Chains A and B, each alone.
Chain A
């Protein structure tokens, strides 16, 4: 199995190198092929893993003087998340093949090698991060993914996008100091970088390490006070935005914190309070920022911030002893990945076909393009957490787990009520935009829209299906 996990990391990396060396015309195909191969590896891995009884396994890859520097591990959570991040990476590769061409009305483009090379490297780095069992490994892939996102956000090379790219890189790099601290403290305390050593730390050291990792996680997941980079990062090509903000970059933060908690063997309550309180604050902030947004991508950016807050909320609640909240958070990570990718890709398809992504200009999408209309509705309802779409189930698990532990912790009850109110509010807000955009007679921009390319249609349909099914897959998988 380790071979398959390694393959899913190395294949896209090799693909990136090949793309850099091959002529420009081949880059699109190469990127898609290698992402596809990596996805296939992971699906086989998932199958073998579940057939084999889901027994976790770890392998060290690089050792230096008896200290494990880099190791990979396969377990229930890592396999699930890896399938999502790499699989969505594959879908994005296909979608990008259609999106980045001269027919794009918002950003006509010839595909540059840079795009697929960094996207491919990004997929590899994400797989590496997910399977890493050492803090150093996480740090390395954390930084690599930062560089990749920088290269992709700045892809159009406009001053604004380059500025946004640098901003994202610098802010997440500052946050990564948390991981530096965590790795150093762990090493100095235990002489190992293995994540599993967190459990053996003294109470103080454990608090320091977990809080340090939490800071790094906030940086990548754009939580307060590190949220500034995410809305600006919307300067990226839309498929990249989809990947960054749904499946990869921002999930890095949630994932490394989840990993740390899993290994912590009971985290101090202080960590839980810091985590839940900051999550709630970010939640409220993100919701308030919904209201003035007209640009569909910026709206989605703030929605991403709040959805990530739900995951942190779930993780924070799990500190107080709720396994349900933890599983809810992981499932939400999985579900949100598909739902948000879908939403971004709808936005991308709209700007591809109509040349704008300003919501007030977009009306009557359903009659002009039924697929986009349906996709819009599904994505919005899934994000807002309406059954039977996936967002509902995972959010429900987080809340259910939360109310359970809140019996003993009155403060948590307050936080949960606030979160619940936000949930209702964002439901109302998304419903408003669905009602504005989807039904009715097409507006000028929509009426003049060009058809959606086939590759983009296929990806959208896959994602619509996943937006319904993913929560069941996650629930079954996590048991």
Chain B
């Protein structure tokens, strides 16, 4: 196999499996076979994703398919994320969906469709992050909406259909803005370079200085509105809590953990172009304002929610806000921090959504006021939720602490001490909210006559892996991850690989 085959293979694998799953007959016996196909697909995707990341790390950027597909270190971070979180939530799905089928929530047909769309969804996300063609990037983002809208509404209940509808309309409309931004960027670039090149992100970045500054600004605003909708940035976030709370829990984990980040990924791509074309001041001030607003609004909304998954959804908005702040603060430390936080938040949020899935199946409700004593009725799940909530609240030795601290330090470095303290105080509100989950739902008096039984190992094993990842990233981030973060930061700053320094932390040292 040639290395340049990797990206197409990575894309094709989940797509082909999705189609095969759709084509399967739906009889009682084929359910196990579909699960097996799904399992092969997600593991295959994981292996291919990690191989690709490994190749990029050792050999540098992979470009193929007439330069339309590209995996540079920045993309590699997201490819890895989709591979890992996709595989774990996909594995978790098996036990979860079985339970739903057994309890009559889903039919066999829906089960098949679930796995089909799940893999299709993975494909669309991979399409976004491997695209070098900016229009294809847009196509991919739009496709993720289409692929996941069905997953959101899969239960066919009134509320889930409502959520799916809002999701579809708001995101389609939002992403249409993204198309405008894309077209403007393309038109802008094709004025100075060959149209077949002007559609490629790499050439746009290379010729960023020749772009018309006004159009670049307009395009960036459109892109931010468009893909920001997908990322859940305030004030375009309205769809997110509904969709994330109504989707099946593993899908919620995937939506929160990875899909939001795909939106951010596209924004980061345009951010790099914009910074190079017109300097960092304009994009950074917009990002900072939006980021702080996002954190401020969501912090209070997190607190007042009683629905477990809605609380988590608002939490995702808040963390997206923090990532946007990291980008807005800029500088190598800020961008590296934002990227690291992207990874860290994915793991923790996936863990907690899986946990919420176990709780939902155990208690039959997501209302935290009636969920009590998880630690007594389902000890392992309770422990996982407790660890996940503490991690998300930013306590050491978990991973979120590291990246939150880095964003904070980057903000101080860039000269925003008041803003950073404000943000940190806003985050304290969510610490209170998360501690509240532990105090009243994980602990507390278990309902009478509820027997003590945990979810099956199929559900618990992926959560264990996620928790292990959270710990590893908190205590000792693996060296390759540091390398790839550094290289990705170099790309966003457009310094190329050679000039970038050894670690994100050393960026600061090098700058002085």
Assess A/B contact in the complex (Cβ within 8 A): yes
A305 contacts chain B at the CB level, 8 A cutoff: no
A156 to chain B, nearest CB (A): 10
A-facing residues in B496-512 (Cβ within 8 Å): 502-506, 508-509, 512
A144 to B508, CA, bound (A): 28
A149 to B443, CA, bound (A): 15
Q: Interface stretch among A180-188, A233-241, A252-260, A422-430?
A: A180-188
B396 contacts chain A at the CB level, 8 A cutoff: yes
A-facing residues in B385-419 (Cβ within 8 Å): 390, 395-397, 401, 405, 408-409, 412-413, 417
> Which of B412, B444, B445, B475 lies in contact with A184, CB distance below 8 A?
B412
Residues of B within 8 A of A331 (CB): none
Tell whether, in the assembled complex, residue A188 and residue B508 are in contact, meaning their CB atoms are under 8 Å apart: yes
B71 to chain A, nearest CB (A): 25
Tell whether, in the assembled complex, residue A188 and residue B413 are in contact, meaning their CB atoms are under 8 Å apart: yes
A177 to B411, CA, bound (A): 14
Tell whether, in the assembled complex, residue B512 and residue A191 are in contact, meaning their CB atoms are under 8 Å apart: yes
Tell whether, in the assembled complex, residue B432 and residue A170 are in contact, meaning their CB atoms are under 8 Å apart: yes
Tell whether, in the assembled complex, residue A173 and residue B421 are in contact, meaning their CB atoms are under 8 Å apart: no
A270 to B329, CA, bound (A): 32
Residues of A within 8 A of B504 (CB): 65
B404 to chain A, nearest CB (A): 9
B461 contacts chain A at the CB level, 8 A cutoff: no
Residues of B within 8 A of A64 (CB): 477, 482, 503, 505
Do A162 and B440 contact each other (CB < 8 Å), given the known contacts A65-B505, A139-B396? yes
13 contacting pairs across A/B (C-beta < 8 A)? A65-B482, A65-B504, A67-B509, A136-B405, A147-B390, A150-B435, A166-B439, A169-B431, A170-B435, A174-B425, A180-B405, A180-B408, A191-B512
A168 to chain B, nearest CB (A): 10
B494 contacts chain A at the CB level, 8 A cutoff: no
New A-B pairs, 8, CB < 8 Å, besides A66-B506, A180-B408: A64-B503, A64-B505, A136-B405, A139-B405, A166-B439, A169-B435, A184-B409, A191-B508
What's the dominant secondary structure at chain B's contact region? helix
Tell whether, in the assembled complex, residue B397 and residue A140 are in contact, meaning their CB atoms are under 8 Å apart: yes
B419 to chain A, nearest CB (A): 13
Interface string of A459-476 (1 = CB under 8 A from B): 000000000000000000
Closest 9 CB pairs of A and B: A65-B503, A140-B396, A184-B409, A162-B439, A184-B412, A191-B509, A65-B506, A188-B413, A143-B395
A62 contacts chain B at the CB level, 8 A cutoff: yes
Which residue in chain B gives the minimum CB-CB distance to A139?
Answer: B396
Tell whether, in the assembled complex, residue A157 and residue B508 are in contact, meaning their CB atoms are under 8 Å apart: no
Residues of A within 8 A of B502 (CB): 65-66
Tell whether, in the assembled complex, residue A174 and residue B428 are in contact, meaning their CB atoms are under 8 Å apart: yes
Which residue in chain B gives the minimum CB-CB distance to A141?
Answer: B396
Tell whether, in the assembled complex, residue A143 and residue B408 are in contact, meaning their CB atoms are under 8 Å apart: no
Residues of A within 8 A of B390 (CB): 147
A188 to B509, CA, bound (A): 8
B476 contacts chain A at the CB level, 8 A cutoff: yes
Tell whether, in the assembled complex, residue B405 and residue A183 are in contact, meaning their CB atoms are under 8 Å apart: yes
Chain B interface (Cβ within 8 Å of chain A)? 383, 390, 395-397, 401, 405, 408-409, 412-413, 417, 421, 424-425, 428, 431-432, 435-436, 439-440, 443-445, 475-477, 482, 502-506, 508-509, 512
Do A183 and B508 contact each other (CB < 8 Å), given the known contacts A62-B476, A170-B432, A174-B428? no
- Which one of A65, A139, A144, A180 has the greatest number of beta carbons of chain B within 10 Å? A65
A150 to B412, CA, bound (A): 29
What's the dominant secondary structure at chain A's contact region? helix
B-facing residues in A63-91 (Cβ within 8 Å): 64-67
A165 contacts chain B at the CB level, 8 A cutoff: yes
Residues of A within 8 A of B401 (CB): 140, 143
A443 to chain B, nearest CB (A): 35
Interface string of A126-139 (1 = CB under 8 A from B): 00000000001001
Interface string of A278-306 (1 = CB under 8 A from B): 00000000000000000000000000000
A314 contacts chain B at the CB level, 8 A cutoff: no
Do A144 and B428 contact each other (CB < 8 Å), given the known contacts A165-B439, A181-B421, A183-B405? no
Do A183 and B432 contact each other (CB < 8 Å), given the known contacts A144-B395, A165-B439, A177-B425? no
A36 contacts chain B at the CB level, 8 A cutoff: no
Tell whether, in the assembled complex, residue A166 and residue B432 are in contact, meaning their CB atoms are under 8 Å apart: yes
A66 to B509, CA, bound (A): 11
A174 to B425, CA, bound (A): 7
A154 contacts chain B at the CB level, 8 A cutoff: yes
Tell whether, in the assembled complex, residue A67 and residue B396 are in contact, meaning their CB atoms are under 8 Å apart: no
Residues of B within 8 A of A184 (CB): 405, 408-409, 412-413
A65 to B401, CA, bound (A): 18
Interface string of A183-216 (1 = CB under 8 A from B): 1110110010000000000000000000000000
Which residue in chain A gives the minimum CB-CB distance to B406?
Answer: A184
A187 to B412, CA, bound (A): 10
Residues of B within 8 A of A143 (CB): 395-396, 401
Which residue in chain B gives the minimum CB-CB distance to A140?
Answer: B396
Which residue in chain A gives the minimum CB-CB distance to B477?
Answer: A64
A291 to B480, CA, bound (A): 61
A169 to B475, CA, bound (A): 22
B337 to chain A, nearest CB (A): 12
B-facing residues in A141-173 (Cβ within 8 Å): 143-144, 146-147, 150, 154, 157, 162, 165-166, 169-170, 173
A187 to B409, CA, bound (A): 8
Which residue in chain A gives the minimum CB-CB distance to B376?
Answer: A112
Which residue in chain B gives the minimum CB-CB distance to A169?
Answer: B435
Which residue in chain B gives the minimum CB-CB distance to A170?
Answer: B432
A365 to B405, CA, bound (A): 52
A20 to B380, CA, bound (A): 11
> Which of B383, B412, B436 lies in contact with A188, CB distance below 8 A?
B412
A146 to B436, CA, bound (A): 15
A453 to chain B, nearest CB (A): 27
Residues of B within 8 A of A154 (CB): 439, 443
Residues of A within 8 A of B417 (CB): 181
A212 to B428, CA, bound (A): 18
A147 to B434, CA, bound (A): 12
> Which of B396, B424, B443 lies in contact with A157, CB distance below 8 A?
B443
B318 to chain A, nearest CB (A): 16
Which residue in chain A gives the minimum CB-CB distance to B421?
Answer: A177
Which residue in chain B gives the minimum CB-CB distance to A166?
Answer: B435
Residues of B within 8 A of A144 (CB): 395-397
B428 to chain A, nearest CB (A): 5
Which residue in chain A gives the minimum CB-CB distance to B383?
Answer: A20
Tell whether, in the assembled complex, residue B506 and residue A67 are in contact, meaning their CB atoms are under 8 Å apart: yes
Residues of B within 8 A of A191 (CB): 508-509, 512
Do A157 and B505 contact each other (CB < 8 Å), given the known contacts A144-B397, A177-B425, A184-B413? no
Residues of A within 8 A of B506 (CB): 65-67
Residues of B within 8 A of A136 (CB): 405
Tell whether, in the assembled complex, residue A157 and residue B428 are in contact, meaning their CB atoms are under 8 Å apart: no
A173 to B504, CA, bound (A): 26
Do A147 and B395 contact each other (CB < 8 Å), given the known contacts A154-B439, A165-B439? yes
Tell whether, in the assembled complex, residue B421 and residue A67 are in contact, meaning their CB atoms are under 8 Å apart: no
Do A187 and B508 contact each other (CB < 8 Å), given the known contacts A143-B396, A169-B431, A181-B421? yes
A370 to chain B, nearest CB (A): 40
Tell whether, in the assembled complex, residue A173 and residue B509 are in contact, meaning their CB atoms are under 8 Å apart: no
Do A183 and B409 contact each other (CB < 8 Å), given the known contacts A154-B443, A170-B431, A177-B424? yes
B204 to chain A, nearest CB (A): 32
Tell whether, in the assembled complex, residue A181 and residue B412 are in contact, meaning their CB atoms are under 8 Å apart: yes
A187 to B444, CA, bound (A): 42
A20 to B508, CA, bound (A): 41
Residues of A within 8 A of B409 (CB): 183-184, 187-188
Residues of A within 8 A of B509 (CB): 67, 191
Which residue in chain B gives the minimum CB-CB distance to A192?
Answer: B509
A116 to B485, CA, bound (A): 40
Which residue in chain A gives the minimum CB-CB distance to B414?
Answer: A188
Tell whether, in the assembled complex, residue A173 and residue B431 are in contact, meaning their CB atoms are under 8 Å apart: yes
Tell whether, in the assembled complex, residue B444 and residue A157 are in contact, meaning their CB atoms are under 8 Å apart: yes
Residues of B within 8 A of A66 (CB): 502, 506
Which residue in chain B gives the minimum CB-CB distance to A174?
Answer: B428
- Which one of A67, A157, A162, A173 has the greatest number of beta carbons of chain B within 10 Å? A173
